[in-house]
Amino acid sequence: MRVYQGHQGLPREARGAVVALGNFDGVHRGHAAVLDLARALADTLAAPAGAAVFTPHPRRVFAPDAPPFRLMNDAQRIRALAAAGAGLVHHIRFDAALSAMSPEAFVDAVLDTGLGLKGVVTGADFCFGKGRAGSAGDLQRLCAERGIATRIAAAVSGDGDGGKISSSDVRDALREGRPQDAERLLGRPFAIEGEVAEGDQRGRLLGFPTANIALGDYLRPAFGVYATRTHLPDGQSVFGVANLGRRPTVDGHSERLEVHLFDFDADLYGQTVETDLIAFIRPEQKFDGLDALKAQIAADSAEARRRLQS
């Protein structure tokens, strides 16, 4: 996988690709269909296939105080795009200057002169340029005038009811405590990746040590207890149980993921791990003291093992 930053001053080998263009937050099954069409077009043009994504997400620029909403970080997005068939990724810097470009200026400066594309593929609902004035049809017309081949990918249905898969659907499923539905839309479990930080050691004192991970700019799924699978830097994947939220029993305030790994005892401090949310067990709640909390963690662990085995 080759990754390039910006659209100016790129080396020769970075130019001449066919790209799937969009935000691709989550790289869900609908996004994968756009990548499939980009790879098919690239084959006909004897060009490399890849993706061109905006960073940061435009919502973060237009609404900087909006609550966290991301479905994946940039490293996860790169891995997911690679798994979907992208051989390269262009990170297009989204800022005030880019957002002020007209559709024509964007195609000229970014897609043609900047990336030197041979082809571009988007979904039918793609909008671009100042005020989102440009449509997918405008993209086709403007690219054709500049010799850039285009394709518009058909929407992928989420439930067989004609409704297309969207990142908003995934977010709704997670906020409502439906990680299995999110997994069906994504084609993989929703996962939170981050560095393991030292906590207050309360879990260890209770007999259930945890790996503590800050949530950062991730969307907040329903707060509560989840059955999980955590991927470690050495390639191991370990089942576990996690609390996602504020820990009301101990008057916690910071929002974080605390994962207890089953049958595992090693120091993970400072290491980056990725935790899949497999199944939602129960909402977060406050207990009358640490003994009650310890008993509930034991019950949650047993339930998580049962869910994971099934």
Q: 81-97: per-residue pLDDT in tens?
A: 999 999 999 999 999 99
Q: Can you list the alpha helix ranges (DSSP code H) found in 9-135?
A: 29-45, 58-62, 74-83, 96-99, 103-106
pLDDT score for 164: 83
Q: What is the pLDDT of residue 88?
A: 97
pLDDT score at 94: 95
Give pLDDT, residue 254: 83
**Contact yes or no for 278/226 (Cβ under 8 A):** yes
Q: What average pLDDT does this structure show over 149-159? A: 85
User: Collapsing DSSP states into helix, strand and coil, what is residue 109?
Assistant: helix
Domains and CATH numbers, the chain: 2-153 (3.40.50.620), 189-309 (2.40.30.30)
Prediction pTM value: 0.92
The CA-atom distances, in angstroms, between 294 and each of 200, 253, 308 are: 15, 20, 21
Q: What is the pLDDT of residue 163?
A: 67
Average the pLDDT over 202-215 and give the result: 80
Assign 171 a pLDDT band (cuts: 50, 70, 90).
very high
Give per-residue pLDDT as tens, 217-276: 999 999 999 999 999 999 999 999 999 998 776 666 789 999 999 999 888 999 999 999
Pairwise CA distance, residues 37 & 57, whole Å: 23
Neighbouring-strand partners of residue 230: 238, 275
Question: In which band, very low, low, confident or very high, does the pLDDT at 78 lie, cut at 50, 70 and 90?
Answer: very high
Q: Which long-range contacts (CB under 8 A, 24 or more apart) does 168-173 make?
A: 170/26, 170/28, 170/71, 171/69, 171/71, 171/219
Q: How far is CA 306 from the centre of its chain?
A: 28
